[in-house]
Amino acid sequence: MGRVMRMNNLRNMLKKPIKSAQLLVLLFILPFLQYGCYRPVAASALTGNESLTHSESNLASFDASGLFVDTQTERSIKTFGPIIQKYSQKYDMDWRLILSVMKRESRFLPAALSNKGAYGLMQIMPTTQNELAGKLGLDEAESPYNNIKAGIYHLRSLYKAFSKADHQNRIKLTLASYNAGLSRILDAQDIAMFLGDDPNDWKAVKAALPLLSKRHYTLHEKVWEQGKPRAGFFRDWVQTQNYVESIIGYYDEYQLALR
């Protein structure tokens, strides 16, 4: 009898208009009525498996800091890492900076050849190759091992030329010299100094590079007795500016990702 009365009361309730507050309570309760108070075991297992798979698939590409390292860099470290670290230590250079130069110069291709004749992982010009091979007692500077050694030695030599700059500016001036030639960067420093800027500040030198073009010949006449830059006019200043910033970008990433 009591059960019949409860059923009748339920029917009467359902016939009445449902107020908004009651509707909200119903909507909240329905999922629990369907599934219970816990997530289904199958759904829980699926989420756990997905997380594990994602983590395992990225173990090779993430270091402890969690920053992504591209597969091209990983392969290159496995192949050339010991050589890079050996000569970086010998010539007191950060091996991650060398790795950044290699990425920008050759994309880690040992037989990379530029339209100007620069060759190898470190993209060394033929005349510079011969000069460096002679200094280092090498038969050649084209093979990966010798190319890396010669390139690191060359970077160190350029780094020594900017002893008055702080470390960060010194690196950028070194990279600019590796790309454009030391004499061009020294010319840009002359212009920066003439304009009252700090010649050991990369920003000042970067701003002075466009002023080495022929259109600024009137300025050149005031800076140099011969009336023009010692290394001649310079047109590829945009490329050098982008070169430095690109490598510094790689270097920043590698310093975080590689210990």
Q: What span, in angstroms and rounded, lies between the C-alpha atoms of 188 and 184?
A: 6
Q: Which of 50, 56, 74, 105 is catalytic?
A: 105
Conformational region of residue 108, where left means phi above 0, alpha means psi within -120 to 50, and beta covers everything else: left
Contact present, 105 and 123 (Cβ < 8 Å): yes
User: What is the DSSP code string of 36-67?
Assistant: -SS--HHHHHHHHHHHHHHHHHTTTTB-TT--
87 close to 148: Cβ distance less than 8 angstroms: yes
Specify whether 105 is catalytic. Answer: yes
The span from the CA of 87 to the CA of 145, in Å, is 10
Catalytic residues: 105
